[in-house]
Amino acid sequence: MSDMLTYDEYKALAADIQLPSLAYINGEFRPAASGKTFASTNPATGAHLADIAACNADDVNVAVSAAREAFEDGRWSKLHPNERKAILLKLCDLVEANAHELAVMESLDSGKPITDCETIDIPEFVHTLKWHAELVDKIYDQTAPVGSDAMSMIVREPIGVVGAVLPWNFPLLMLAWKMAPCLAAGCTLVLKPAAQTTLTTLKIAELAAEAGVPAGVFNVVSGSGREVGEPIGLHMDVDMVTFTGSTATGRRFLNYAAESNLKKVVLELGGKNPCIVLDDAERLDEVAEQVCAAAFWNMGENCSAGSRLIVQEGIKDELLERIKHFAKDWTVGDPLNPENALGAMVDKGHFTKVASYLDLAREEGYDIVLGGDTSEGCYIQPTVVAGVNNSDKIAQEEIFGPILSVISVKDYDEAIAVANDTEYGLAASVFTANARKSLRAAQAVRAGTVTVNCFGEGDITTPFGGYKQSGFGGRDNSIHAHDQYTELKTIWVDLSEG
């Protein structure tokens, strides 16, 4: 990981930075076929950053044809695993060499704090890509126990042309979660970043070309969900779509697949994740720190944000005092200032939506224990709202902002019932000193990841994804992610004599 620069150095870099604006299709940077563009804006300042190619179905068709040709002629899918690995590892080196520039670009475009970009997003991008690249020449296929008169092989083959449609909350990281296993498996990719956060994906395309990823293998089609996402979803020649975003949009991709070629669909969707704190939880300061991180990290723009604190009555007041204390560390302000832990919400529209929940909290007369304020520059203070019932709107809807709802419960059983009383099932945390209870809770909560005495998402070695309406069809990360970009083929060979 690169060392951090100073605030002044980041400002100087931001003032000078060259921002990409063209789509990347079949190995070329090009404008949209229609010639249209859309503006990329810095949410913290309102400054115009770039006019980016606004592609549509025509550009998607060109990109899918290029990806198909590249897949079929084997320039990537049939490359020796060692060579695919070497190219992806070269890309890791180039990302590291360009870390400051990528970090500034990410921060300017999304409002994310520069410290997170430098210490989390970029190192994790590299780590994810490296992990899957290293896997390429270490996976073995299987033979089946079919007796001595035959031999049967079960082999994995790359699934083909993959469409990926991404959200804006972790632009580089979500890109890595998709492109790393997809390219490692030997597929070709047609990818649409979220319109709000396209810049770093285009920069990665430039670095991928420099690393030696052949033309047609990695295509970035910039534009809106309607103009680019939908044609990818409906395309007859896309073999699989991997999507991360809201549950509402994810649902559309199942319709697109049903209406077109029954492409495989993998969805990573929203969450309304519980943090359960039982009254025997130890080291309350650490619990409070973890609860704050769960609720406020990345401005709460996090699918696995712990946005519901489900706390046993006996410990509630003490825990809230400590949360108030540690929330002071979550300073909000200019994303380029390394001192700030939180930056701006991603855009004005999302800022307004999150702020409407603050209005709701006041109208409903909840106890606003902390925060509740907004300021110019799409900034929202970390906010804690107590006295919430789990059935209330604020506890059921994914806000995607730094707003924590506090729900008191009498006992363990009520805590589990409340935790599960949601349409989502992405992640959950439980804090207790009782090992038996912690494991019972881990079994009882219907969520893809359950962390005990900490908040987190596991790491690259563990699958990440959701139960219920938080996901569909697969998991990101770990070897499971790699597998979902492959098809299984059975090859049966007759060995009988005579």
Catalytic residue list: 268, 303
Among 107, 169, 242, 484, interactor with ligand NAP by CB under 6 A? 169
Distance separating alpha carbons of residues 495 and 498, to the nearest angstrom: 10
Is residue 473 involved in binding ligand NAP (CB under 6 A)? no
The Cα–Cα gap between 197 and 334 comes to 18
Residue with the CB atom nearest Mg ion in the bound state: 109
Cβ closer to ligand NAP: 330 or 400? Answer: 400
Q: Is 274 in the site for ligand NAP (CB under 6 A)?
A: no
Structural contact between residues 132 and 472, judged by C-beta atoms closer than 8 angstroms: no
Q: Does 468 bind ligand NAP (CB under 6 A)?
A: no
Q: Are 195 and 38 in contact (CB under 8 A)?
A: yes
109 binds Mg ion (CB under 5 A): yes
CA-to-CA distance for 231 and 32, rounded, in angstroms? Answer: 15
- Contacts of residue 18, Cβ cutoff 8 Å, sequence gap at least 6: none
398 interacts with, out of ligand NAP, Mg ion, none, CB within 5 to 8 A per kind: ligand NAP
196 binds Mg ion, rule: CB under 5 A = yes
Closer CB to Mg ion, 174 or 182, in the complex: 174
Asked if residue 165 binds ligand NAP (CB under 6 A), the reply is yes
Instruction: Choose among ligand NAP, Mg ion, none what residue 252 binds, the Cβ cut-off being 5 to 8 Å by kind.
Output: ligand NAP
In the complex with ligand NAP, which residue's Cβ is closer, 271 or 372?
271
Candidate segments 96-104, 164-172, 314-322, 328-336, binder of ligand NAP by CB under 6 A? 164-172
Q: How far is the CB of 413 from ligand NAP (least distance, A)?
A: 28
In this complex, which beta carbon is closest to Mg ion, that of residue 51 or of residue 237? 51
The option from Mg ion, ligand NAP, none interacting with 242 (CB < 5 to 8 A, set by class) reads none
Verify binding: residue 398, ligand NAP, rule CB under 6 A.
yes
Q: Min. distance of Cβ 386 from ligand NAP in angstroms?
A: 24
Asked whether position 106 contacts Mg ion by CB under 5 A, the answer is: no
The pair of structure tokens assigned to 116 is: 């997170």
The yes or no reply on residue 484 touching ligand NAP (CB under 6 A) is no
Compute the distance between CA of residue 327 and CA of residue 330 in angstroms, rounded to an integer.
5
Of 233, 274, 306, 371, the one binding ligand NAP (CB under 6 A) is 233
> Which residues are CB-contacts of 11 (< 8 A; sequence separation ≥ 6)?
336
Looking only at the bridges linking them, the beta strands covering 142-144 and 308-312 are unpaired
The residue among 22, 85, 19 whose CA lies nearest residue 54 is 22
What contacts 443, CB < 8 A, 6 or more positions away? none
Q: What are phi and psi of 278, to 5 degrees?
A: -85, 160
| Surface-to-core class of residue 323, CB atoms within 10 Å of its CB (0-12 exposed, 13-18 middle, 19+ buried) | buried
Residue found under tokens 């909000």: 332
The residues that touch ligand NAP, with contacts defined as CB under 6 A, are: 165-169, 174, 192, 194-195, 224-226, 229-230, 233, 244-246, 249, 252, 268-271, 303, 398, 400, 426, 466
